[in-house]
Structures are given as C-alpha cells and as structure tokens.
Amino acid sequence: MSAYTYLPESVSEFPQYDEFCGELRIVGFTSVHFKPLSGGVAVLYTARKERLEH
C-alpha cells in the first residue's frame, strides 16, 4: 500500500475527537483534552495517567 493510499484511509478510520477522548478515559487516562490546530488538520491530545504501583 502506498503512502498516498494509506494516509487518507487511516485518517478516515481514526475516531472523532470525543470518541478518541472516551477511549483514552476507558483505559485509565484522566484530564483528557483535545485542541484542533490549523483548522482541524492536526489535533493536539493531552491526558494524564497515574503511575502504576509495583
């Protein structure tokens, strides 16, 4: 698969902002936020995850 085929397909299959934030919360992240950049061409996601105790 060429990059010209892969990129549009991967972008269309990536979850929407709120859905991805929900997935992060499900796996234990907190303080989950997103900020669309450049008109939504890129998105900055931030989240926190507590350190695991050993």
Q: How large is the greatest C-alpha to C-alpha distance in the chain, in angstroms?
A: 44
Domain total of the chain: 1
Beta-bridged to residue 11, according to DSSP, are none
Choose among 43, 46, 20, 48: nearest CA to 33.
Answer: 46
Higher pLDDT, 30 or 10: 30
CA angle, 18 then 24 then 30, to 5°: 100
Domain that holds residue 21: 16-54
Give domain status of residue 25, yes or no: yes
Residue 38 resides in a domain:
yes
In a domain, 2, yes or no: no
What pLDDT, on a 0 to 100 scale, did the predictor assign at position 4?
84
Q: Is residue 1 part of a domain?
A: no
pLDDT of residue 45: 98
Q: Which helix (H) or strand (E) holds 43?
A: strand 42-48
Give the pLDDT band of residue 47 (cuts 50, 70, 90). Answer: very high
Residue with more model confidence, 4 or 27 = 27
Q: What is the mean pLDDT of the chain?
A: 92
